[in-house]
A and B are shown apart, each in its own frame.
Chain A
Amino acid sequence: MSIGPAAKVIEARTGSRLEKVLRAGHFAVTAEIGPPKGADGRRIQQLAALVKDYSDAQNLTDNQTAVVRLCSLAAAVHVLNSGGEPVLQMTTRDRNRIALQSDLLGAASLGVRNVLCLSGDHQRFGNHPEAKGVFDLDSVQLTATVRQMREERLFICGEEIKAPPRVFVGAVENPFAGPVELRVLRLGKKVMAGAEFIQTQVVYDVEGFARWMDTVCAAGWHKKTFILAGVTPPRSAGALRYMSRIPGMKVPEELIRRMEKASDKLREGQRIALEIINQVRAIAGVSGVHIMAINWEEAVPEIVSMAGLYPRP
C-alpha cells in the first residue's frame, strides 16, 4: 500500500471521507450509482442506503454513455441526504467552463467533497446523437481547473474565489486503450494536472491491467496518486459480450465462456468480481477498487463482504 507524496504536504485538505481512507493507507472501495432516466430520486436514496456502509464513497455518473438521466449533482445531494459520500462525476461533453465552474461551486456548497473529471462518452452513442458536443475543456483541463479553484482560489479567468470549493479531485484512465506508453503519459498528465485519485476502466483482463500498472509504477505515478481499479460484476454472458464491444473495453473470451457455462449466472458474476478484486489487490500500486455494478447495485454489499473489505474504516 502506498501513500501519495501529496499526502505529506497537506493532510486531508477537503473533508472527504474517501481522501481520509486513502491517505490513511486503507484499501479503498467506491461504488457506482447510475441515476435513473426520470425524476424519481427515491431510487438513488435506496441505492445509496444499500451501498453506503459497504463503500467509502459513491460515484454518481453524469449522463453516462450520453443518455439523458437525472443530473449527477442532484443525485449527489440525494446520496448526501441518505448519509452517503458522493463522488460527483463531471463530463466536459455537456457543459462549458462557465457551467462546470458554477456547478462545482454549487456542489461544494451542498456538501459534495469528491469530484471525478471526465471528458465523457461521445454524444453519438447516446439517445441524442444529434446533440452538439461542448468539449470547451478537456478532462485534463477540468482537473487542473478544480485544483486551481481549490488551492489558488482562482477561476480559470484569474478572478478570485472568496469561498473556494473544497473537493477531492479524481480522474479516469483506460489501461486497455493502448499504446501503453501513451496511456501512461496521459495518466501522468492527469496526475500533474492535480488528479489525487484515478478510477480505471473496468478490469476483466487482469494481466493487461498488471502490465499497465508495471509501467505506471516504473514511472512512479502510483506514489503521486491513488489508483482504484474498476470492477464490474457481470450478470450474464450477454452482458460481457456487450461490454466487449464498448470502445476501450477488453474482455477475455474465456471469461465469456465461463459465464455461458455457469448454471447460476448471478452467483458466477459475483465470484468473477471477487476474484478480480483479489487479483488487483495483489498488484503493487493499486490503492482500491471502484465497483461499477451497472443496474445491479444490490450485488455490492455481498461482493465487498466476500472480499473481506467489510466493515469499512
Chain B
Amino acid sequence: MSFEPKILAFCCHHCAYGAADLSGVLRLQYPVNIQIIRVPCSGRISEEHILDAFVKGADGVCVAGCLKGNCHYQSGNLRAGKRVEILKNRLADIGIEPERLHMFYVSAGMGAPFARFMAELVETIRDLGPAFNGQEREGGEQLDSRTS
C-alpha cells in the first residue's frame, strides 16, 4: 500500500484561505492529503503550533501567508517566514528533514498556484516517507482543525 502523507496547512484568512477557496471555485483539484486550518494571519502561527502538528502525526506542515508587503497586519507573514526558517534548522538539528516544513506566500487571487503548490508539497513529502517509523505513528488520530 502506498504511503499517504498527512499534511497540515495553516492558511491566512486574508490570502491563502481565499486562494484555496478560489481553486475550489475554479474546479481545480489538489490532493486530499492536505488539511487546512484557517488562521487570522500566518503571523499567529508560532513554533509550538507547528511542532504540535508533527507531534500529533503530521508528515509535513506548511504555513501560507500573504505576498510580501501585503500582510493585513503589516509584517505577520514575514515573522512567520522567519519562524519557519528557524524551525527548519531546529528540525534538521534533531534529524527531521527540514523539507517537511514549508512557508509560502500567495494572494487570494492565486487559486491555480495554490493548488499546484499543494500538489508539489504532497509529492515532496510522499518521497520523504513518513515522519516517524510506522509503529510510532499515532495513525488513527484525525488531525483536528480545532487544534489550539
Q: Do chains A and B touch in the complex (CB under 8 A)?
A: no
